[in-house]
Structure 1
Amino acid sequence: MTAEKDFSSSSGTQHPKRLVFAPGDISGPADAEQETNTIKSAATHLVDDIARSGTSTPSSVMQQEIVSHPARAHQFVINPPLTIAQLHPTNPLHQFHKWFKDPRLPRSSAPETCTLATASLPSGRISARMLYFKELDERGWVIYSNWGSKEGKGQQIFGSGFASSADGNVPGGIHDSAALNEGNKWAALTFFWSTVERQVRIEGLIEPLSREESELYWRTRERGSQIGAWASWQSKVMWSASPESFPPPDELKDPDFDDGRNELEQRVKDAEARFADVENIPLPPFWGGIRVVPESVEFWQGRASRLHDRFRKIVALIEYKSTSESSV
């Protein structure tokens, strides 16, 4: 009999060993010290002077120029073939760490950028969002975010009952909601590094971090970022207009036109005043971390003629099984 680990907590008080902590927040080697000029760009575009039609249907001349252009499709030629012998034999986390630390990846390219995809239950509607992963440990990929909106994915991850607001009018907190064990446990992460023609796809289970773990990273953030987190009620509509009432172009170009930004800036001022005498700004109830514990990890490397190399590692997710199993 297989028993799932309680979704509401992390792996006990013993934190897993970190392989990467807060990439992007800690300065890496200067790009000038890297041989970035030797890196071929993976983005090849059509020439800028191709004639464009005035309609949505391209002209026959344009079609001919596109078809005859030798660089119409990018060719992947940077790396030698990827073989099993080049991959870590057992641990995809260590393999990811090796690729992430590739000296050909300039820190300025923000290789920690990834896409997090989740789905709502029971509808199954999927949403995806670009963000930064901040930690890689021996259990998975850790992401911190404001979860207080649909775009923040709070309800998808923590359950439909989760709600919280920066001004306190809507009470609640992710760490309390995580204990209810609702929401969708499954998520997917995708990393794409065009400069080295590589991609990593992760599918696995979401594990909310404890409040203690979230606070540990929260304390490393700059004060301005902490203020911004409190001030930003993520995805709250601050200005809207119907097609009938949409302002004319001249009004939109007016430097004094308010598209809702003034309200956000006022919220920042209010947060600054609120915490003016507070040395350590507290963790917002809607802000914290999750860990994506992998079930599968796919390593993809581009190859000429679209004959790409893909290797997928299925992870046992031992942490999610009871130590003693028996047949029922």
Structure 2
Amino acid sequence: MDFSAERLSYEKGELIENNLPSHPVELLTNWVKTAVDEKLIEPYAMSFATCGDDNLPSVRTLLMREITQPEDSTGKLGVVFYTNYDSDKGDDILQNPNAQALFFWHSLERQVRISGKVRKISEKKSTDYFHNRPQDSQIAAWVSEPQSGLVTNRDAMESKFEEYKQKFSETSQIPMPKFWGGYELVANKIEFWQGRANRMHDRIRYNLQPDGSWLMERLLP
């Protein structure tokens, strides 16, 4: 299959420095809100890349659940997601907390790349979120241990789900597994990409400075 002749001209928007906020959280929030308002399918979905001690990069699609401004660091921003701590990504994060998230909204001709360090959020916050999930999703979290582990077949997985469903049928609240919870990617760099005609795309990068301010820079396409 050869797609070398395929071309699209991106002409829906622009990024001009004079029109941009000094803090990237405002622009990120605005872009996510636009994607939601446009009713894109899972506009909060992001590709999330990690790399452990083996130096082999690994990427997967996750759902961002919150945009944050961490209270312990003036000027910073973060994105929160939830997963199994014993997963491959959890092992990578334990070995190397540096990671990158990528949002791509094709119909808006926009992309955001967030680089930073990952840390666990509080157990209370994870627990509150866990109990707000649908009950079947809570049970699935128990089934996923160890996430990415081998399973004989689909039937074995379904059987395990039914076992946990029966186990928790008499409980008023399904407990959150100790191996499950939230992470926050705290950004030190964030790049906004807006497609433009003739491949003269707009790329604006914000770099976090030691004093908590953000340095805005334009990158060549």
TM-score (norm 2): 0.86
- Which residue number corresponds to residue 73 of structure 1? 7
For residue 115 of structure 1, the aligned residue among 47, 51, 58 is 47
Residue type of the partner of 1:155?
D
Residue number in structure 1 paired with 2:67: 136
Cα distance change, pair 317–186 in 1 and its aligned pair in 2 (3 A): farther
Aligned length: 204
Structure of higher CA gyration radius: 1
1:108, 1:299 → 2: CA distance?
Answer: 19
1:216 is aligned to 128
Distance in 2, Cα, partners of 1:289 & 1:116: 14
* Residues 108-148 of structure 1: CA deviation (Å, up to 9, x unaligned): 41110001111112x32110110100011113100111232
1:283 to 170, 176, 180: 176
Deviations 1:11-60 (A, max 9, x none): xxxxxxxxxxxxxxxxxxxxxxxxxxxxxxxxxxxxxxxxxxxxx7x8xx
Contact 2:119–2:184 (CA under 8 A) maintained in structure 1: yes
In structure 2, relative to structure 1, the CA distance for the partners of 1:209 and 1:317 (3 Å cut) is farther
Alignment counterpart, residue 110 of structure 2, candidates 171, 177, 198? 198
Mind listing any 5+ residue stretches in structure 1 that lack a counterpart?
Answer: 1-55, 159-182, 240-259, 320-328
In structure 1, the partner of 2:19 is 86
Match of 1:185 in 2: 97
Return the alpha-carbon distance in structure 2 between the equivalents of residues 105 and 76 of structure 1.
Answer: 20
Aligned to 2:187: 294
SS in 2 for 1:131: strand
Q: Distance in 1 between matches of 2:174 and 2:39?
A: 29
- C-alpha distance in 1 between matches for 2:198 and 2:26: 29
Greater share of strand: 2
**Aligned mate of 1:155, from 66, 69, 91:** 91
1:224/1:104 Cα in 2 relative to 1: closer, same or farther (>3 Å)? closer
- Contact residue 105 and residue 195 of structure 1 kept, 8 A: no
Aligned residue number for residue 31 of structure 2:
99
Indicate the SS of the match to 1:78.
coil
Question: What is the deviation of 1:106?
Answer: 2.9
Give the drift of 1:317. Answer: 6.4
Partner SS state of residue 109, structure 1: coil
Pairwise CA distance, 1:236: 1.9
Distance 1:198 1:221, change over 3 A: same
Identity %: 33
Alignment of 1:236 onto 2:149:
yes
Q: SS where residue 207 of structure 1 aligns?
A: strand
| Aligned-partner SS, 2:21 | coil
Q: Deviations over 1:277-304 (max 9, x none)?
A: 1111111122111101111010110000
Work out the CA distance in 2 between the residues paired with 1:317 and 1:279.
Answer: 48
Q: Is the 8 A contact 1:204 1:296 kept in 2?
A: yes
SS of the equivalent of 1:192 reads strand
Q: CA deviation at 1:230?
A: 0.8
Query: Where do 5+ consecutive residues of structure 2 fail to align?
Result: 71-77, 213-221
Alpha-carbon separation, structure 2, partners of 1:224 and 1:104 = 25
The 2-side partners of 1:104 and 1:224 are apart by 25
CA distance in 1, matches of 2:155, 2:150: 13
Could you tell me how far 1:227 is from its partner in structure 2? Answer: 0.8
Q: CA RMSD in A?
A: 2.0
